[in-house]
Chains A and B, each alone.
Chain A
Amino acid sequence: MIRGFRRADFWSGSVLAALGAWIVSEAQRWEYLGPDGPGAGFFPLWYGIAMVVLSAALVARSVLAKGVDESRGPLAWAEIRRAFGCWCSLVVSVALLKVVGFIASFALLSWFIVAVMFRQSQRLAWSIAFCAAVGFYLLFDVVLGVTLPTGVWHLAAWGPAWTS
């Protein structure tokens, strides 16, 4: 029985209900109604409650729904793994920004995408990585004067950034 869709609704609804409950609890720490008007806790309380109510409705619908929902097939876990892998490479690249700077980490990211995700040749991957990194550097740092992260070793820190 294809229940992928409903299960997803169930879990996302539960997560959102938990979020809503947490928002409500945080909102109660703040002033609800101050001397001059609604306080900081007013709005969060209400949209937190709305979130809990709506997500409970979603969860209920996913559990009580009759019949099978054919609109989505079974989740393709292999594909999701690919997307997730790509996301992880992005996270690593961003983490590296602080250490090696934009040029190096972006080159690595580009290489990963071309070589690993798209399975192109190593030569193509490295040449794209190189062109992309240099191209971005030239366009942003040199021409537009946008300072890019340079990392611990200050790679390419001598970008002019001529604008003030």
Chain B
Amino acid sequence: MDILSGLAQGFSVALEPLNLFWCFVGVFLGTVVGVLPGLGPPATIAMLLPLTFNMNPAGAMIMLAGIYYGAKYGGSTTSILLNVPGESASVVTCLDGYQMARNGRAGPALGIAAIASFIAGTVGVLGLMLVAPPLARLSLAFSSPEYFALMTLGLAMVVLLAGTSLVKALLAMLVGLWIAGMGTDLFSATSRFTFGRTELLGGIDFVIVAIGIFAIAEVLANMEPRAGPRMLPVPRGLANLLPTWQDMKDCRFAFFNGSVLGFVIGVLPGAGSTIASFLSYGVEKAVSKHPERFGTGVIEGVAAPEGANNSETGGALVPLLTLGIPGSGTTAILLGALILWGFKPGPLLIEESPALFWGLVASMYIGNLMLLVLNLPLVPLFAQLLKLPAFAMYPLILGVSIVGVYSVSNSLFAVALLTVFGLLGYLMRKLDYPAGPLVLGLVLGDGLERALRQSLMMSQGDLTILFTRPISATILVLAAAILVIPLVRRMNAVRLAAIAQES
């Protein structure tokens, strides 16, 4: 079916009043779910599934998809305002977003997050519409060696996130790798580092670590001064509440970077939006003219990851709708939902159910627009949250963290772990260990180890498989470049400084 006629059919489905209503419900719910830490799209979609049985399937799919990509819009809010990551992909937004809020630029941060999300989300839908089937076939060429290379690239970002002490950044990353390894080993079913506890058999959820290290640690650190914490300045006036034209210009590349990288990574089954946001942040920092400013509140550092995690949803729908392969938890539920409604997700879905596919695509354009319209006016509203006095704000943050963790894991053990990681995060701040690399190690550790072992199993123990396959070789060279170039720069800088001192 040719694209224009498909799109025409799609819009005729998506613009039906009832479906428009479901689209709105979906994106609205998604935004709310995204704002609240812990509660995520998978749980919400699963909860709403029974209610969809009496709806028309296209409308139901439109709504559930709306929750999926809507949540990515909302996730940045608490990351920027409270340093509490709304969901795992928003952790990267905390790095620069919260710093921007500390500098009085919470409004522009929230605004650029919404704008970048809109641009990237739309690009993601465009990609889904235009290149889905061929891209899906291409993505099949990606397997364990390529994943390993991709993860190595991600870890190479450590060097970029390092800050002053590379040794401490690497140590933090290693601790992250260790935490990632806790649980049952996939290949041999041995349990590692579980300390004999059943609850640790499944490993430690990323959300628990992230909220502990970012949010709880932040609260603890702010408790220190006797006179009360330094409150975040509240932006005044419309000019300070939205991004300026200069901001938009600065983010030109970030928009492009986030959209494309997020979409491509979304297409790969198994790679997630967290990796997408880390990689786009890293790429943005690598090409920036002022990389040392990243981490202090640079607007591109918010635009790139926020865009990436939005276009990733478009990308994740590609394998789902063209091959029937779910790439992540949320798409797995969507797959189950499609089957329950009587569709047959697989290579023949687009041909056999064009109304579903094109209706969904059309509704995503509409949904992204709705989200932009919803979120931008909310920016000043959310920014007022900063007016809360500290003694009200901090219990709020702690309460939201506890509820968030409990709702995700439904276990008091997890909340106890949260306090442990809160302490760890606080200690890391005092001892000057950067939190970013730990989170990076945690996110990538699992995937890295799995990909390496799978690759070696595929090649019967031959390590050269990583270098003989073209895609993985290319990515590894890139990773090496990212590792080596800044190191060389550093060493040169140290040498120059030493020379300057001597003379």
Contacts and interface: CB of A to CB of B under 8 A. Distances in A.
B135 to A, nearest CB: 30
B221 interface: yes
Given A79-B226, A114-B395, A144 B39 contact: yes
B321 to A, nearest CB: 27
- For chain A, what secondary structure do more than half of its interface residues adopt (helix, strand, loop), or is it mixed? helix
A82 B178 contact: no
A163 B396 CA distance: 25
A8 interface: yes
Nearest to B441: A47
A104 interface: no
B167 A57 contact: yes
Interface string A107-129: 00110011001101000100011
Interface string A19-32: 11001001000110
Interface string A78-99: 1110110111001100110110
A132 B412 contact: no
A111 B156 CA distance: 45
A47 B174 contact: yes
A127 to B, nearest CB: 10
Nearest to A36: B457
Contacts, number: 164
B270 interface: no
A109 B449 CA distance: 40
A40 B224 contact: no
Contacts of B178: 19, 23, 44, 47, 51
B171 A94 contact: no
A76 interface: yes
Contacts of A97: 402, 412, 415
Contact of A140 (B171, B181, B403): B403
Which size bracket describes the interface of B in this complex?
A: 35 or more
B39 A83 contact: no
- For chain B, what secondary structure do more than half of its interface residues adopt (helix, strand, loop), or is it mixed? helix
B385 interface: no
Interface string B18-55: 00000000000000000010010000000110100000
Given A37-B456, A37-B457, A128-B392, A90 B422 contact: yes
Interface string B173-194: 0110110010001011010110
A38 B391 CA distance: 52
B259 to A, nearest CB: 32
Contacts of A42: 453
B335 to A, nearest CB: 20
Given A83-B426, A97-B415, A38 B407 contact: no
A153 B355 CA distance: 53
Contacts of A87: 220, 419, 422-423, 426
Nearest to B50: A164
A90 B403 contact: no
Contacts of B433: 12
A75 B430 CA distance: 9
A104 B193 CA distance: 34
Contacts of B175: 16, 19, 51
A98 B167 CA distance: 40
B398 interface: yes
Interface string B413-434: 0011011001100110011110
B223 A86 contact: yes
Contacts of A117: 223, 391
Interface in B449-498: 449, 452-454, 456-457, 461
11 contacts: A30-B188, A43-B452, A44-B193, A47-B178, A51-B171, A51-B175, A78-B226, A80-B430, A85-B223, A86-B220, A106-B402
